Structure 1
Amino acid sequence: MAGTAVQQRLPRQRADASRNYDRIVAAAGELFVERGAEVPLDEIAQRAGVGNATLYRHFTSRQALIRVVVLTLMSGLTELAERVAVEESDPFEALRRFVHASADSHIGGLCSVLSDWLDLGDADLCVAQDRMERAFESLLGRARESGQVRSDVAIGDLIVPIVQLTRPLPGTARALLDPFAHRHLELLLDGLRAPQRSVLPGSTVTLEALRRSTQRLNGESCVPPRGEAAA
């Protein structure tokens, strides 16, 4: 009988543990944007509605929690891009929906405060980054091939503004940033529309160009440009 009782409790315990895990990751993402990467872990636990012991049972260190927050962010954005591509028959509307929904993830704020805590050679992060970028590229490419997006833009022309517009200015509350980000992202989308009304200076911002810039800044690169073997 005792064994049966334990077996009956296990599914509930696993479900509770999974919910607590998700709450911790969500709360950490919010507080990292609001307060920075060094926000006290007990504040994360408090916002998640769990005890400190529960947080440390799931995450043995701050860096482990940050890693999962970033992996969750990239996985969520990948799934978002893939989902809207299936659900929206109009390629430009799929792109619009993705751009605005991705802004709600506050990718720019998380990137700016967490980048120094990440191991850019982490295999899981590299795979997640590459999958995410391919999903982004596919979404933009579909809109470009439909003739709705100007032909002289590349994925970097989309990623850079999204990151910049979702990065809070010092002293700016996140709640004040959101409406401005969506307003300016709509201006960005208007600028992407074909036919183009101006000639863009410089060259298209490809993923390879972004990665080379990252490599120059950080001294290392997560994923090598496509077609090049990893060192």
Structure 2
Amino acid sequence: METAVRVQHKVTRPRADALRNRERIVTAAREMFVEFGPDVPLDEVARRAGVGNATVYRNFPDRDALVREVVCSVMDRTSEAAELALAETGDAFEALSRFVHACADERLSALCPMMSSAFDQHHPDLEAARERIEELAERLMARAREAGQLRPDVGVGDIMIAVAQLSRPPAGTATLCFDRFVHRHLQLFLDGLRAPARSELPGTTATMEDLRKA
């Protein structure tokens, strides 16, 4: 009889130290992109992360791969903040406010220029992260609107434009000097979103599709 031999394939998982190194690289890159812009030398990213150049390139073969990972990780953390707000906050407008302030804390506006850079805008990871944050923002706004707390003439695009304009200047442009104004000005903006509306807005509601076409 012919003996059947079952070959067991070992699943290789990244070691804990390798995962930590990757996280340190992404964190360092995010900090330096915010402070200096997306063209900061990768050698400097490696130095801040406390790893060798080879470790950076082993995880991210080129700059586009690292920028994409930074953008995705920021959007993922913002989405997690939105999910927590939905789960933990009974007041619908307060949940929306928590999301807006979380966007500011993640420095979304400083990273916005990278979202329209040369790397593949249709990469599956990027599209998944973008769809998740848009869907959560829509849910937060819908809940506040249904509760009669959010004026009806604003869209997700309006929220994201305002966060980008009010929360941070462009990367590398005295970004950290504006931190003390961020949440104060965002709160002024949020107060203007409350229903009933005090005025009629000019133009039309901005959607995320409008932002992608801009």
Q: TM-score, normalised by structure 1?
A: 0.81
The question of 1:190 aligning with 2:198 is answered: no
How many angstroms apart in 2 are the aligned matches of 1:161 and 1:193?
A: 15
Partners of 1:24 and 1:55 within 8 A in 2: yes
Aligned to 1:159: 160
Partners of 1:32 and 1:113 within 8 A in 2: no
Q: Which amino acid aligns with 2:137?
A: F
The question of 1:146 aligning with 2:147 is answered: yes
Residues 114, 206 of structure 1: alpha-carbon distance in 2 compared, 3 angstrom cutoff? closer
How many angstroms apart in 2 are the aligned matches of 1:73 and 1:45?
A: 19
Aligned to 1:28: 29
Q: Trace 1:90-101 onto structure 2 (pairs within 5 A).
A: 90-101=91-102
Q: What is the Cα deviation at residue 203 of structure 1?
A: 1.4
How many angstroms apart in 2 are the aligned matches of 1:86 and 1:151?
A: 23
Say which SS state the counterpart of residue 116 (structure 1) adopts: coil
Kindly indicate whether structure 1 or structure 2 has the higher relative contact order, using CA contacts under 8 Å at least 6 residues apart.
2
How many angstroms apart in 1 are the aligned matches of 2:142 and 2:154?
A: 10
Q: Which amino acid aligns with 1:127?
A: A
How many angstroms apart in 2 are the aligned matches of 1:170 and 1:135?
A: 26
Residues 122, 102 of structure 1: alpha-carbon distance in 2 compared, 3 angstrom cutoff? same
Partners of 1:108 and 1:164 within 8 A in 2: yes
What residue ranges of structure 2 are gaps of 5+ in the alignment? Answer: 1-11
Say which SS state the counterpart of residue 119 (structure 1) adopts: coil
Q: Which amino acid aligns with 1:198?
A: S
Aligned to 1:136: 137
Aligned to 1:7: none
The question of 1:119 aligning with 2:120 is answered: yes
Q: What is the Cα deviation at residue 43 of structure 1?
A: 0.9
Q: Which amino acid aligns with 1:57?
A: R
Q: Which amino acid aligns with 2:59?
A: H
Partners of 2:37 and 2:172 within 8 A in 1: no
Q: What is the Cα deviation at residue 207 of structure 1?
A: 2.8
Say which SS state the counterpart of residue 198 (structure 1) adopts: coil
Q: What is the Cα deviation at residue 110 of structure 1?
A: 0.7
Partners of 2:89 and 2:95 within 8 A in 1: yes
How many angstroms apart in 1 are the aligned matches of 2:136 and 2:127?
A: 14
After superposition, what is the alpha-carbon deviation per residue over 1:159-198, rounded to whole angstroms, capped at 9, x for unaligned? 1111122342586422212222212111110000111111
What residue ranges of structure 1 are gaps of 5+ in the alignment? Answer: 1-9, 215-231
Q: Which amino acid aligns with 1:43?
A: E
Partners of 1:112 and 1:167 within 8 A in 2: no
Partners of 1:91 and 1:139 within 8 A in 2: yes
Q: Which amino acid aligns with 1:44?
A: V
Q: Trace 1:49-88 onto structure 2 (pairs within 5 A).
A: 49-88=50-89
After superposition, what is the alpha-carbon deviation per residue over 1:182-226, rounded to whole angstroms, capped at 9, x for unaligned? 121111100001111111111111233333x33xxxxxxxxxxxx
How many angstroms apart in 2 are the aligned matches of 1:207 and 1:37?
A: 23
Residues 75, 144 of structure 1: alpha-carbon distance in 2 compared, 3 angstrom cutoff? same
How many angstroms apart in 1 are the aligned matches of 2:74 and 2:15?
A: 23
Residues 100, 121 of structure 1: alpha-carbon distance in 2 compared, 3 angstrom cutoff? same
Partners of 2:156 and 2:208 within 8 A in 1: yes
Q: What is the Cα deviation at residue 103 of structure 1?
A: 0.2
How many angstroms apart in 2 are the aligned matches of 1:206 and 1:24?
A: 33
